[in-house]
Amino acid sequence: MTETIGLDFGTSNTVAVSATGTGGTVPVSFADGAEAFTSLPTVLSFLDRSPARGPHPEVGPWAIRQFLESYGDVRFIQSLKSFAASAAFKGTGIYGSRFEFEDLMATFLKCAFERAGSAFDPASVRLVVGRPVEFAGHSPDEALAMSRYRAAFEKLGFRDILFVMEPVGAAFSYAQSLEQDTTILVADLGGGTTDYSLMRFETNAGHLSATPLGRGGIGIAGDTFDYRIIDNVVLPKLGKGSSYKSMGKVLEIPPNFFSNFARWHMLSIFKTSDDFKEMKKLLRYCLDPEKIELFIDLVEEDQGYPLYKSVSETKARLSCEDGAELTFAPLGKDFRAEVSRQDFERWIAPDLKKMDKALDATLEKSGLAEKHIDRVFMTGGTSFVPAVRRQFAERFGEERISGGNELTSVANGLALIGAREDAGDWALAA
């Protein structure tokens, strides 16, 4: 039987699961010293080496360590998936080597499988890849994203490649525990996107089948929530809302400078942009120069990941506490900001409304109402946010909400689908 791997290439984390051939699955595991984990941070770094050897890539925690220990000689890339559907992203130069999106994606996956110690021939493996219902970004180009995905996997030598909607993978994983025919709404709430999928699962003579009823989504999820904390707590310390003098007038510093910084996966691009050069020119005219100096220092010192880590940890604590303290030494050794869950929920309220409207549209297109949904399965890291869970519970009733294996359910379902004889029926058309 062909070996099958389910791959959930996520904005924040990547998970791979292998089907055993006996109806079970085994997560691909990574070991970093004594620590073992199945969810690999989707970060990629390149260490500058001699031109003859080219840049040395690393992934996950090894990339983070390489970045922190090799100051000034490392190119650090995160939220790579956010660029997949962007026609504006034309590739990037890294220490004399040119990398298109598919090169970056292939490099990340190659290093990931090597770090996992996976020994398989890509040409003999069926790879079932999850894709979001809606790609993240402004005016995402779905066809471009899928062509880039295919090119990346072909570079790695995979030939048998199936693409399945991420929430369909999660739904299939959850459906293994169903004891009766059920209509399911899957809400896959990740880092970059929120995806909805409506499916009817039925069992006939022990054979599980599914009928897709509708799908939808929006490019809002955990990364957007992180941005709200940065926008309200961090950016004022970096000069957002401050002014500069020009030709006798007092003008506000362009807000787009700060939005570029807040979206940390754009930091490396912003660092070499005309906007950043303009920001440095404005410094001498700023009314709060110490804040802008701090802004410039954080960009030049590549503090995007440390900031991301601090903000994400704060957000995670707000899932179980009424308040959490955000500390970030580069903002000053005495910098401490108390973030209350109440404030956080107020900041993300407009995003929650947009997510809810996207669900309205999904239900409307499918011709279904809340009463027709038997179970709601929530998956992805953002499903832990209390305000998100509460919104679903208020709409569908707590008794219909299910969860579990939030970080691995998509990849697990993809692997199970790939092991089926009718796997092609679950996949998207090529």
User: Which of 346, 365, 381 is where one domain is finished?
Assistant: 346
Residue 27 belongs to a domain: yes
Residue 171 belongs to a domain: no
Residue 244 belongs to a domain: yes
Residues spanned by the domain of 153 = 3-166+413-426
Is the pLDDT at 55 greater than 70? The verdict is: yes
Rounded Cα gap, residues 149 and 316, in angstroms: 31
Is the pLDDT at 430 greater than 60? The verdict is: no
Residue pLDDT, tens place only, 170-210: 888 888 878 888 999 999 898 888 989 898 988 876 677 88
**pLDDT value of residue 424:** 87
Residue 199 belongs to a domain: yes
**pLDDT value of residue 266:** 67
User: Highest-confidence range of 2-11, 351-360, 413-422, by mean pLDDT?
Assistant: 351-360
Do 12 and 137 fall within a single domain?
A: yes
Do 295 and 252 fall within a single domain?
A: yes
Of 212 and 364, more confident: 364
Do 150 and 18 fall within a single domain?
A: yes
What are φ and ψ of residue 348, in 5° steps?
Answer: -95, 0
Mean pLDDT of 268-285: 83
Is the pLDDT at 267 greater than 80? The verdict is: no
**pLDDT value of residue 379:** 87
Structure-block tokens of residue 251 = 């003008």
Is the pLDDT at 58 greater than 90? The verdict is: yes
Instruction: Give me the residues paired with residue 40 across strands.
Output: 14
Do 373 and 257 fall within a single domain?
A: no
**pLDDT value of residue 53:** 66
Do 154 and 199 fall within a single domain?
A: no
Do 366 and 397 fall within a single domain?
A: yes
Is the pLDDT at 260 greater than 80? The verdict is: no
Is the pLDDT at 326 greater than 90? The verdict is: yes
Do 208 and 88 fall within a single domain?
A: no
Do 64 and 120 fall within a single domain?
A: yes
CATH number of the CATH domain containing 34: 3.30.420.40
User: Which of 331, 346, 361 is where one domain is finished?
Assistant: 346
CA distances to 4, 104, 122 from 129, rounded to whole Å, are: 11, 17, 14
**pLDDT value of residue 102:** 96
Angle between helical axes of 222-229 and 341-366 (0-180°, round to 10): 150
Q: Which of 397, 201, 229 is nearest to 324 (CA)?
A: 229
Question: What DSSP string describes 37-76?
Answer: ES-EE-EEEEE---TTT-PEEEEHHHHHHHHHHSTTSEEE
3-state secondary structure 298-316: HHHCCCHHHHHHHHHHHHH
**pLDDT value of residue 139:** 84
Is the pLDDT at 275 greater than 90? The verdict is: no
Mean pLDDT of 249-277: 78
Question: How many domains, in total, are found in the chain?
Answer: 3
Do 22 and 142 fall within a single domain?
A: yes
Rounded Cα gap, residues 134 and 129, in angstroms: 15
- DSSP single-letter state for residue 55: P
**pLDDT value of residue 290:** 92
Instruction: Give me the residues paired with residue 92 across strands.
Output: 99
Is the pLDDT at 270 greater than 80? The verdict is: no
Do 11 and 86 fall within a single domain?
A: yes
Start-end of H helices in 116-254: 142-155, 166-175, 222-229
**pLDDT value of residue 364:** 95
User: Which of 323, 346, 369 is where one domain is finished?
Assistant: 346
Least confident of 120-129, 140-149, 292-301: 292-301
Is the pLDDT at 98 greater than 70? The verdict is: yes
Do 7 and 156 fall within a single domain?
A: yes
| Contact (CB, 8 A) for 285 and 246 | yes
Do 149 and 213 fall within a single domain?
A: no
Least confident of 83-87, 118-122, 198-202, 339-343: 118-122
Residue 174 belongs to a domain: no
Residue 173 belongs to a domain: no
Residue 88 belongs to a domain: yes
Does pTM surpass 0.85? no
Start-end of H helices in 230-340: 256-262, 267-271, 274-282, 289-300, 304-317
Q: How does the average pLDDT of the chain come out, rounded? A: 88
Percent of the chain clearing pLDDT 70 (strictly above): 95
Residue 176 belongs to a domain: no
| Contact (CB, 8 A) for 145 and 84 | yes
Percent of the chain clearing pLDDT 90 (strictly above): 49
